[in-house]
Amino acid sequence: MGTLLDIDAAAFKANFNQKPFRVGHRLAGHPLFALPRLVELSLSLPADSVEYNAGQIPINMDPKLTPRTGLGVEETIRRIEEHNSWMVLKYVERDAAYRTLLQQCLDEVRVHSDPLCPGMDLPQGFIFISSANAVTPYHMDPEHNFLLQVRGSKVMTVFNGRDRDLLSEEDLERFYGGAHRNMVFKDEYQQRAMQFPLDPGQGVHVPVTFPHHVRVGAGYSVSFSITFRTPDLDRRQLLYEMNGRLRARGYHPRPVGQSSLRDSVKYQTARVLRRIKGGRGD
């Protein structure tokens, strides 16, 4: 069997989890992304793994005010070409066929990611099914992510997650403390945008917590997001959670990454607190 992804080794080494970069793939036309098969998948997933709403919404969107279409899950997919809808099927690896495909893709990523961030863990797949001109609001995600465009076109607009004028330490503390992924977008941010038009067979790597928004082109779109975690991301999450707790108590914590000693103390403290609460401490 041939490879599924086209990855430039030099670009990956230089940019992984530092800057967005393009990848190629051979998933366009794959039978697992045909609409009837996606209907079957959607009906097999738990209700909380299927999120759907109206498609043409603002880049700024309060999640509590997101409009629905009145359609059910199956009808949303079947009428995606004619109805203003946006949908994501989450954790599609619950289905054996999609789990196999996800693992095949991530095995090819692992060759390049392990030398940089060893310990690929928690592989997860997400499938986005969107009507023409649908918008995914401005938001960020906690995983290593490769977004692969399978059908239709879209423009992924990504922003530098290390630019503290765009994304503050407090923003990250709230996010890792459980806030919704949607964020407030300001018009002046757009001048700092990195835009990636995507057609079938094209993809882009989005680094962890790099804010982005998405707009679909003239026809309906199907995209496959392949994601994973690494141990350094777990440490990062605990540090931001701890800083958020400290800030809530009136302190002004040192930003994550500024002091290795303070980060080490906060990380060990956070692990102890996690174990006390019965969470994962190792």
pLDDT at 1: 57
Spatial neighbors of 248 by CB under 8 A, at least 6 apart, are none
pLDDT at 140: 97
More confident residue, 148 or 2: 148
pLDDT at 280: 43
Range list of H helices, 45-91: 73-78
Q: How far is CA 152 from CA 49, 139, 199, 257, in A?
A: 23, 22, 6, 40
Tokens, residue 25: 């793939």
Phi, psi dihedral angles at 166 (to 5 degrees): -95, -35
Q: Which of 63-77, 102-116, 140-154, 222-236 has the lowest mean pLDDT?
A: 63-77
Q: Distance between CA atoms of 2 and 202, rounded to whole angstroms?
A: 17
Residue 181 has a CB neighbour count (10 Å cut-off) of 14
Q: Distance between CA atoms of 270 and 240, rounded to whole angstroms?
A: 10
**What are the pLDDT digits (tens) for 192-218?**
999 999 999 999 999 999 999 999 999
Look up residue 222 and give its DSSP letter: E
pLDDT at 64: 87
More confident residue, 24 or 274: 24
What percent of the chain is predicted at pLDDT more than 70?
Answer: 98
State CA 131 to chain mean position distance: 19
Q: 3-class secondary structure for 146-179?
A: EEEEEECCEEEEECCCCCCCCCCHHHHHHHHCCC
User: How is 122-138 classified by DSSP, letter by letter?
Assistant: EEEEEEEEE-TT-EEEE
Q: Of 108, 101, 109, which Cα lies nearest the Cα of 125?
A: 101
pLDDT at 178: 94
Question: Is the per-residue pLDDT at 277 higher than 90?
Answer: no
Task: Specify whether the CB–CB gap between 201 and 158 falls below 8 A.
Answer: no
**What are the pLDDT digits (tens) for 42-77?**
999 999 999 999 999 999 988 888 998 989 999 999
**What are the pLDDT digits (tens) for 155-183?**
999 999 999 999 999 999 999 999 999 99
Question: Is the per-residue pLDDT at 282 higher than 70?
Answer: no
| 107 three-state secondary structure | helix
